[in-house]
Structure 1
């Protein structure tokens, strides 16, 4: 592959503090030229040509923002936006060629933070990206190498892994890893959904009221003996969630 191809640039050459942006567009010239432009402006970028690639990157990467084309073959941008809203972000700016204002309103109602109509000026999109990041920062909990043990599980946050004394091995998504880290930090303490959103994503809880529930459900399926009758991550009705087990730092 061409070493100057933006898809091959190694992210470890860049400063970790630089926000990472995912560009999802089936038009190669748009996503690659936009990726190159944003890198020159100090951002790290990842590129996806369709919904399948986008979902994989979203599960694996720590993203500050997603620039998302609406009209794509296969899964369209509105479907991906709805899925992102359900899991609590990151912020989304829609790229749309649609002239009908109603279609743009639908995207905003699904949880998009802004939209830009094609054809667009990259400088305008950059300004909108900066504005969204200013008003919707996503501070995540500090992920260190400190490992902790609870209920037979050992959590390695740096590698997003869980290992059980009986040999089970679980790999967590970034969202699941952040949530578990927060629950371990506040073991045996009830945390409301709003508080969990603040600690894991920093987004507006009112816009993403199901995000924590969805992540808790996925985490329970990975660590509970019976996810339908959880004993580790318990629900406090009217309150939120609590990690019920004591925690030991290794």
Structure 2
């Protein structure tokens, strides 16, 4: 797993935990965005390109559960919930709200980092968006992941496996900016030894298939100096 281009949102109202967890993630090469309350956490999440969230369950203003629900309305980003509650019912409830994993306080930093690594690996391989059938711009583009069908203006369109992996990643995290390196790892694997610009060729091919005007795309947008994101509505 490469952490240089990944950002982690750390949310906890206990200053010491916020400081220690943030320092750990920075030492591992992540870019870290700390927040000590739920409102700030959601504001950061909506503005930044977050790869994973470490979220305290019990906060005074907006609870971790409420933050989790709001994030899950728009993203499958991995969420690790920190909790002082050890009752099984409380843990199950947190997972039902959309958390991917939980760790109880007090916890070891090695264990937390191991959970982070595992979730990031899993999220890279899990490219199914929030819903299995997705439609944009009043049905102009439809992707049915369950049936493996992509329709452009009601006409079936075939993508290569690599193109589908790239599009799936963009659809899974709408609005998230993917660097070329991230898309290479997702679509071609860690062992790919070619140029990162190879991803541009795949993007060009996808645009030819799903855009009305590939030179003025509305679905796969270029974010200059960063990478690509999905812009469909």
Contact 1:90 1:138 in 2 (8 A): no
Contact 2:3 2:29 in 1 (8 A): no
Aligned length: 155
- CA distance 1:48–1:138, change in 2 (3 Å): farther
The 1-side partners of 2:126 and 2:21 are apart by 25
The 2-side partners of 1:49 and 1:23 are apart by 8
- CA distance 1:16–1:192, change in 2 (3 Å): same
Structure 1 unpaired stretches of 5+: 1-14, 141-181, 204-211, 216-243
Partner residue of 2:97 out of 110, 115, 138 = 110
How do 1:166-181 and structure 2 match up within 5 A?
none
- CA distance 1:68–1:138, change in 2 (3 Å): farther
The 2-side partners of 1:77 and 1:29 are apart by 18
How do 1:20-35 and structure 2 match up within 5 A?
20-35=7-22
Partner residue of 1:246 out of 212, 221, 224 = 212
The Cα shift of 1:57 comes to: 0.5
Aligned-CA RMSD value: 3.3
SS for the counterpart of 2:18 is helix
TM-score, normalised by the number of residues in structure 2: 0.58
The CA deviation string for residues 171-210 of structure 1, in whole angstroms up to 9 with x for no partner, is xxxxxxxxxxx979xx95432376798242548xxxxxxx
- Match of 2:77? 90
The 1-side partners of 2:95 and 2:3 are apart by 30
- Match of 1:48? 35
The 2-side partners of 1:127 and 1:16 are apart by 13
Structure 2 unpaired stretches of 5+: 128-134, 151-163, 176-209, 217-233
- Match of 2:62? 75
